[in-house]
């Protein structure tokens, strides 16, 4: 923005109330954040992203079942959990 345009903006700012200036600042911040985002990020297939990251022989259902059973055992034994 040229110095003439900046001077015009500053002159207009002087005519705004403090509340109006705050609202303007919020809108400018939102515009800056949106402008900084990458243009249209395409979602990626999660299968493709994680493929090859874990051993193929892992049985996720069995692992989750074992974790849940351990939790149930702790609850049945009256275990306490840190808060």
pLDDT, one tens digit for every residue, the chain (83 residues): 578 999 999 999 999 999 999 999 999 999 998 888 777 777 777 777 877 887 878 888 899 999 999 998 888 877 665 54
Q: Rounded to an integer, what distance in angstroms lies between the CA atom of residue 42 and that of residue 23?
A: 32
pTM, full prediction: 0.42
Q: Rounded to an integer, what distance in angstroms lies between the CA atom of residue 65 and that of residue 71?
A: 10
């Amino acid at each position: 923005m040229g110095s003439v345009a900046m001077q015009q903006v500053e002159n207009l700012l002087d005519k705004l109330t403090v509340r109006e200036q705050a609202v303007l600042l919020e809108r400018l911040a939102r515009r800056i954040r949106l402008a900084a985002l990458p243009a249209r990020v395409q979602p990626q297939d999660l299968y493709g992203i994680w493929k090859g990251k874990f051993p193929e022989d892992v049985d996720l259902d069995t692992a989750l079942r074992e974790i849940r059973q351990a939790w149930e055992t702790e609850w049945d034994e009256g275990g306490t959990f840190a808060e």
